[in-house]
Structure 1
Amino acid sequence: MKGYLYLAISIITEVFGTAMLKLSEGFTVLLPSLGVAAGYGLSFYCLSLCLKTMPLSLAYAIWSGIGTALTALLGALFWDELFGPLKTAGLLLIIGGVILLNSNGKKAAVEPET
């Protein structure tokens, strides 16, 4: 459970860092540039703590998938970036990919009837 808390913090701070990256205007604006460093630094630190209890493939797939979806939503909400059917389909495919990557892929063993 602790791993998921660290993962959630990591995702939120990564999305924050990415938003600050947009506002930094190529690292020419000081406060957003500092926000980039703080956001990504805390994100990777929390991701490393998460990996103490979670498999890398699961944590990274969730981190990147949710981070991508939230970043796309932020772009649409705050910077009027287009969010049409193709972007929606792409995000659904990313989410589906995360689910498939982390599914077991093996059928449950069936016990013989007695």
Structure 2
Amino acid sequence: MSSGGNWKELFNAAVAGDLDVVRYHVQHGVDIDYAHPEFLSTPLVACILAGQEAAAHLLLDSGAQVDLASEFDGMNPLQAARHAGLAGLEARLLAMGATAPKAPAATAVQRPPWWRRLWTPQRSA
């Protein structure tokens, strides 16, 4: 299976916290560290920013790289966990050897992640 195989479905499932779908794609060889050219974001950082801690743990259990930066979000998993206020996940990432890059001299304007601007969950009536 190519690195982008069913990656979009994996990505969306991670952001939505659908562990069964994430697990399915992991078991079928979808590259969990891939960042699709249309997204430029990793499933791990995206699900952390969405507050999906269980999905993040599943991806980490499956071998996701702890220091792989998400280009679009401008942060790595540790920075995302700190941003999302997920202290337990932050502690796990630190225990796994994750590091945060040094802050740039001038910080960029913070804006919501691209997928949060585009993705709105369907709510049942």
* Fold match by TM threshold 0.5: no
**Which protein is richer in helix relative to its size?**
1
Q: Which has the larger Rg? A: 1
